[in-house]
Amino acid sequence: MSSLSATLTRITRRRVWPRTLLQIFFFAFIALVSINHTLAESGGGIPFLSSASLHALCPFGGVVSIYQYATTGTFVQKIHDSSFILMILVTLLAVLFGPVFCGWVCPLGSAQEWVGKLGKKLFKRRYNHFVPLKLDRVLRYARYLMLAWVLYMTAVTGKLIFADIDPYHALFNLWSSEIAIGGVIVLAVTLVGALFVERPWCKYACPYGALLGLTNLFRVFKIRRKEEACKNCSLCSRSCPMNLPVNTAKVIRDPQCISCLECTTEGVCPAPGALEFSAGGK
């Protein structure tokens, strides 16, 4: 375990370019699947992808189906067994490394980041600091309310109620007949908001992010700050997309951390050894 920790620390000290490649890959893959699914409905599309759909590739679909599957042995409408498999895989990854799905895979999270790059150019250091701190702290609890509402409504109705307002579903259905006006509105608000606040949906509304974020409390590999090596420059906190006080914490356990690992890179932290991604310890 110690050798693996050392390897991860060395890797994460470099710029996390593999994360960018993975973000692009998963965004392109999900877009291809969605477009191909639409083409398949009219007799076209790539044969081996034609039956795939967004619902089959969404691990959160497994989460909202747990109650119905446990009580009746069936899945919620439109959910496939692949969603359960993905849910288990994502959960195992989160227990080990935290919400890497949020920081490295989720296409909606990536889209917000890319829009945010424009916001950074427009607003410079003011970007991601528009929301007053007291209001921000309150708003961050909203995603837990969203999670509770989604789970309850899905259990009661047996339908994917969330799909009607899901910006992820809307983003990859803009060209199809399955799109819901509620989802388009939420998507538009999310992307416009990303010009001012980095990952606003992730911070304030995402129900799956709320659930995965809880693994930060007990995950195996954690981001740790060594006080003796830290220069107290606060660059790690300024670079954090989730506005976390990295420079004052010994171990990052905040449920908002998305395990992007940007704070650990040499492009952000000027002090080798000050921040490490490792297992063990408290």
Q: How does pLDDT run across 76-124, given as a tens digit for each residue? A: 877 888 889 999 999 999 999 999 999 999 999 999 999 999 999 999 9
Cβ neighbors of 61 (< 8 A, separation 6 or more) are: 55, 76, 78, 79, 80, 83, 87, 160
Instruction: Write the CA distances from 123 to 118, 245, 262, integer angstroms.
Output: 9, 21, 20
The answer to pTM > 0.85 is yes
H or E, element range at 145: helix 142-157
Q: How does pLDDT run across 227-256, given as a tens digit for each residue? A: 888 988 889 998 899 999 999 999 999 999
How far apart are the C-alpha atoms of 182 and 164, rounded to whole Å?
Answer: 6
Cβ neighbors of 60 (< 8 A, separation 6 or more) are: 83, 87, 207, 208
Query: What fold is seen in the domain 221-282?
Result: Alpha-Beta Plaits (3.30.70)
Domain ranges of the chain: 17-216, 221-282
Percent of the chain residues topping a pLDDT of 70: 89
φ, ψ (nearest 5 deg) of residue 225: -110, 125
For CA atoms 134, 255, 258, 248, give the dihedral sign.
positive
